[in-house]
Amino acid sequence: MVPCCKMSYNKKHVSVTLPGVRGLSSSSGPRVCIVGGGPAGFYTAQQLLKARQDAAVDVYERLPVPFGLVRFGVAPDHPEVKNVINTFTQTAQHERCSFHGNVNVGKDVTIDELRQAYHAVVLSYGAEGNRSMGISGEDLPGVFSAKDFVGWYNGLPSNKELRPDLSCETAVILGQGNVALDVARILLAPVEMLKETDITQNALEALAGSKVRRVLIVGRRGPLQIACTIKELREMVNLPNTRADMLPADFEGIAEALKDLPRPRKRLTELMMKAAKEGGDDKAEKCWGFRFFRSPVEVIAGADGKRATGIRLALNKLEGSGESARAEVTGQLEDVDCGLIISSIGYKSIPIDPAVPFDPRRAIVPNEMGRVQDTAGLYCSGWVKRGPTGVIATTMNDSFDTARVLIQDMEAGKLDLSVNKPGAQAITALLQTRGVRTVLFSHWEKINAEEEKRGKFLGKPREKLLDVDEMLKIAWS
């Protein structure tokens, strides 16, 4: 406990006297709380600190470690994308910013309590949920969400116990976005390509013994509607010891449509057609391929009914054209034998607190330009604002927009800045009374140093800690 801490708390007011707590931002200007320590949270903080020289920003994160999907979502063989962590670190070390990990907002502290301690609260907690396929058998062993599979090889603590059975020859991935291609690439990549990345050691060892030789990437629409980008497709095409295995029928009429496509879509389609035509190295031991115009209808169980051994697909036809084309079932079915099924049909945000409006159909916090519906002083940014779409740069622009709206509201007098708000000092004291100890950024730096030390021993940039209790022990040592 912090000595000489005096605190009074009721529904209208939080006040605290807390001497000399390191890592807490201090300012007599506006105090802003950000819920979520991933890209959306840090980009919002960055813009607020830049725009208001008197603002103090406190970032709360459920895990003891910062950076969200940059740490747990970006593929291990994409270290250049993770360089943005350097920018986030500068923000976290800013004299008017503080990081508070190990705080489960909505459980350890409520949104209303945060709103009473701050002039504004920004929800940037991302999309922790999985979209369900809604088909029979999807809960069978051998079926995983891409979110959980990615979390497994990227060291997300909640996925550390995942034990994907890689003893099968064929894996099927449902969905054709960048995450689907990341998963396919990790499944087929030579282990030599991965062993010097920050992939977890247990995932690396499992992949080294993998028998998976064929990965099918299934989408309900056609080549002109595929969701991945050219960078990820090019990586698949150039993957060593693999060849592309496509169905020529899926590309009928595509060549004639090329001339009318926007340049990015045209380049993507041309590369896909080239891969489909040339295939690749005939001596390659592994293959991958897109399967278009197919939707999952049932996971097929083995004779004992205890695990997945295949998937039943409905064959589709397109109604309409271009990006708005809809997939309509034809009544024909196709069974594919496979021992590993990964659903990559999207993430979804979940409600964080009953006091926060939530649109269950769209799985977002309803908002107008980042202002949460009917809730003054409450804002949102990132995936919880717009849905789980786009790349990190999309989230950056989106978060900057929310920060600008918040600043506008401050300058227009829509937020009462005349009242002093206690911010993190009050919340930290409140958390202490509930037995919750926070992880400051200086604590994270101890975890970071330990991970880098373990990684150096293995010839990797880091070996991520997988156990939250171990993280906390090192953080507070």
What are the E-state strand segments in 21-177?
31-35, 56-60, 97-100, 120-123, 129-130, 143-145, 170-174
Tell me which of 345, 376, 403 is where a domain ends.
345
Q: Is 137 annotated as a binding residue?
A: no
**pLDDT at res. 11:** 31
pLDDT of the residue at 281 = 80
**Residue 178 in marked binding region:** yes
Q: What is the pLDDT of residue 427?
A: 98
User: Does the annotation flag 408 for ligand binding?
Assistant: no
| Residues pairing with 317 in the sheet | 328
Note whether residue 268 is domain-resident.
yes
Are both 305 and 361 inside the same structural domain? Answer: no
In a domain, 305, yes or no: yes
Domain boundary (315, 345, 375) is at 345
Q: 462 labelled as ligand-binding?
A: no
Establish whether 176 is an annotated binding residue. yes
* 203 annotated to bind ligand: no
Counted domains in the chain: 2
> In terms of domains, do 253 and 279 share one?
yes
Q: What is the C-alpha separation between 236 and 185, in angstroms, rounded?
A: 6
Dihedral sign from CA coordinates of 368, 415, 357, 61: positive
Block means of pLDDT (10 residues each) for the chain, 477 residues, are 37 34 58 98 98 97 98 97 97 98 98 98 94 94 97 98 96 98 98 97 98 98 96 96 94 91 95 91 93 98 94 96 90 98 95 96 96 96 95 95 97 94 97 98 99 97 98 98
pLDDT of the residue at 324: 86
Angle at which helices 84-92 and 39-51 pack, to 10 degrees?
A: 50
Q: Is 301 annotated as a binding residue?
A: no
Any binding-site annotation on 172? no
Domain extent, residue 174, equals 132-345
> In terms of domains, do 53 and 180 share one?
no
40 assigned binding-site residue: yes
pLDDT given for residue 25 in this prediction:
52
Domain shared by 433 and 290, yes or no:
no
Q: Is 183 annotated as a binding residue?
A: no
Say if residue 241 is in the same domain as residue 200.
yes
232 is in an annotated binding site: yes
Buried b (16+ CB within 10 A) or exposed e, 185-220: bbbbbeeeebeebbbbbebbebbeebebbbbbbbbb
* Residue 179 is labelled as binding a ligand: yes
Judge whether 474 lies within some domain.
no
Q: Is 212 annotated as a binding residue?
A: no
The answer to the question of residue 448 being in a domain is: no
Q: Is 152 annotated as a binding residue?
A: no
Does 285 share its domain with 394?
A: no
**Closest of 37, 32, 86, 31 to residue 61, by C-alpha:** 37
CATH number at residue 228: 3.50.50.60
Assess whether 333 and 369 both reside in one domain.
no
Angle at CA of residue 396, ends 148 and 101, nearest 5° = 55
Residue 390 known to bind ligand = yes
Would residue 466 count as lying in a domain? no
In a domain, 180, yes or no: yes
Q: Any idea what the CATH number is for the domain that residue 75 is in? A: 3.40.50.720
